[in-house]
C-alpha cells in the first residue's frame, strides 16, 4: 500500500497518435523532429517543474495476443456479463448484443464446445504464437528507435500475470543479453545517447521477415529464435528485471482468464522478476461469480490509482523513463487516473505517455 497520493497531469503535444501500423513505423507518433529533440524537451520540462513536481515518461503496452483472446473471437462471445448470462441461460442470441469481447471467454461455466476446444488452462492463459510475435515486433521497434536516440526505461513494471510478464520479457530482451559481462542490466536504461542496450541478444540478430505473424530467426520451433523458445526451466522474462504490482492486474472477478497463478509458479517462470512480499501464494483477490459480480469501472480505476501510487513511490529521481506492461482494461483505468485521452489498445500495442506527477498528501 502506498503511503502517498499523487496528482497527475497529461503533457500533450509530444506524440500524435494515428493508427498502430503508422505509429510503429514512425517513432510511435513522435512530434518533435527527433528523439534527441524530445529528450531535450523532457529535460526542459523537468528544469522548469514546480517544487516537488516530476516529469515521467511511460512506455505503456498491452500484452500480446493470448489464448483467451483467440477463443473470444472464435466463439463471438458477448462483451458484457448480462449478455453472457442470458446466452448461458438459453435465451436467444438475437436478444443479446453479440460482440468480440476479450474478457468473457472464461466467464462462469464456459460452453461445452469451448471447454472441448481448450488446449490450455483456463487460469491466466499464456501468449499464443501470434502474441509472442507481436511482442517481438514491438521489441524490434524499440531497438530500432533506440538506435535513433529513443531514451530507454530504467524500470520495468508489470502485472503479475503470465501474458504481460512474457510480453514484457520479449519487448525488452535485447537490453539484457546474456553476453553482458557485468550483468548489470538495470543500468541499461540510462537514456538517449547512452550505449546501453547496444549489445544485441540472439532474439534480434539476423532477423528475418515475419510470416503469418510468426518469424524472426527461424532457428527455433514455429520460426522463433532459440533465445525466446519456451522449454523446461526457461525464463519467460528473458532476464528483464520486471517489478510486479498486484494492484495493476486486469479487470477483476468472474472471468477465469483474470485469475492469477500461484506465486511460486510465477517466480519459477519469471526468475528475474520481483514480486511484492505481501502477495500471497494463492490468489486472494480474484473472486468467482458465486461470490460477487464483476469489478465495477469505478472500483478498477480506484485500484489502478493505488497501483500507480505504489509505482510512483518506488521511483528514484533518475527514473524519468519507465515501462508498464499490462492489460487493456487496466490501462484504460491507468489513463483515467493520469488524465490521458483514452485510446483502446489492441493486443501487442503501446503508447508513450508524458505526465507531470505531484505528490500531494500522505495517506
Give pLDDT, residue 199.
39
For a pLDDT cut of 70, what percent of the chain falls above it?
69
* DSSP-derived 3-state class of residue 30: strand
* Mean pLDDT value of segment 185-196: 39
Domain co-membership, 93 together with 158: no
Same structural domain for residues 141 and 38?
Answer: yes
Residue 89's domain comprises 69-117
Same domain, 233 and 139: yes
Do 111 and 50 fall within a single domain?
Answer: no
Contact 343, 351 (CB under 8 A): yes
> Which of 170-174, 272-276, 288-292 is least confident?
288-292
Q: Are residues 157 and 243 in the same domain?
A: yes
What mean pLDDT comes out for the span 246-267? 93
- Backbone phi and psi for residue 85, each to the nearest 5 degrees, phi listed first: -65, -35
Between 140 and 221, the higher pLDDT residue = 140
Q: What is the pLDDT of residues 152-171, one digit of tens each?
A: 999 999 999 999 999 999 99
Write down the mean pLDDT value for the chain: 79
3-class state of residue 42 by DSSP: helix
Residue 212 has pLDDT above 50, yes or no: no
Residues 6+ apart with CB under 8 A from 331: 60, 62, 324, 345
The per-residue pLDDT for range 35-54, each reduced to its tens digit, is 999 999 999 999 999 999 99
Q: How many helices (H) and strands (E) does the chain have?
A: 10, 8
pTM of the model: 0.80
Of the three residues 117, 145, 180, the one that is the final residue of a domain is 117
324-346: pLDDT as tens digits: 999 999 999 999 999 999 888 89
Q: Residue count of the chain, please give it.
A: 363
256, pLDDT greater than 50: yes
Amino acid at each position: 500500500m502506498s503511503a502517498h497520493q499523487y496528482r497527475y497531469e497529461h503533457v500533450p503535444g509530444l506524440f500524435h497518435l494515428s493508427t498502430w501500423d503508422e505509429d510503429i513505423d514512425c517513432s510511435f507518433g513522435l512530434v518533435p523532429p527527433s528523439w534527441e529533440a524530445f529528450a531535450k524537451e523532457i529535460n526542459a520540462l523537468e528544469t522548469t517543474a514546480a517544487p516537488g513536481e516530476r516529469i515521467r515518461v511511460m512506455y505503456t503496452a498491452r500484452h500480446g495476443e493470448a489464448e483467451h483472446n483467440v477463443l473470444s473471437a472464435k466463439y463471438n462471445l458477448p462483451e458484457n456479463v448480462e449478455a453472457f448470462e442470458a446466452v448461458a441461460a438459453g435465451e436467444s442470441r438475437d436478444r443479446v448484443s453479440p460482440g468480440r469481447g476479450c474478457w468473457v471467454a472464461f466467464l462462469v461455466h464456459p460452453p461445452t464446445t469451448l471447454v472441448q476446444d481448450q488446449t490450455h488452462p483456463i487460469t491466466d492463459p499464456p501468449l499464443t504464437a501470434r502474441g509472442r510475435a507481436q511482442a517481438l515486433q514491438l521489441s524490434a521497434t524499440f531497438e530500432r528507435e533506440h538506435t535513433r536516440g529513443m531514451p530507454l526505461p530504467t524500470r520495468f513494471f508489470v502485472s503479475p500475470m503470465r501474458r504481460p510478464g512474457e510480453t514484457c520479457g520479449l519487448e525488452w530482451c535485447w537490453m539484457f543479453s546474456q553476453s553482458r559481462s557485468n550483468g548489470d542490466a538495470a543500468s541499461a536504461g540510462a537514456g538517449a545517447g547512452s550505449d546501453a542496450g547496444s549489445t544485441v541478444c540472439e532474439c534480434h540478430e539476423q532477423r528475418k521477415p515475419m510470416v503469418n505473424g510468426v518469424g524472426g530467426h527461424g532457428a527455433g520451433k514455429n520460426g522463433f529464435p532459440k533465445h525466446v523458445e519456451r522449454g523446461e526451466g526457461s525464463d519467460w522474462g528473458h532476464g528483464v528485471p520486471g517489478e510486479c504490482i498486484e494492484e495493476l492486474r486486469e479487470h477483476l472477478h468472474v472471468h477465469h482468464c483474470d485469475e492469477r497463478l500461484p506465486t511460486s509458479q510465477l517466480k519459477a517462470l519469471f526468475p528475474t522478476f520481483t514480486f511484492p512480499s505481501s502477495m500471497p501464494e494463492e490468489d486472494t483477490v480474484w473472486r468467482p461469480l458465486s461470490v460477487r459480480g464483476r469489478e465495477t469501472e469505478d472500483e478498477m480505476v480506484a485500484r489502478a490509482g493505488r497501483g500507480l501510487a505504489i509505482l510512483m513511490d518506488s521511483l528514484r529521481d533518475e527514473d524519468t523513463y519507465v515501462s508498464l506492461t499490462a492489460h487493456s482494461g487496466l490501462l484504460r483505468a491507468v489513463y483515467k487516473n493520469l488524465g490521458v485521452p483514452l485510446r483502446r489498445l489492441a493486443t501487442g500495442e503501446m503508447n508513450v505517455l508524458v505526465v507531470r506527477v505531484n505528490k500531494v498528501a500522505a495517506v
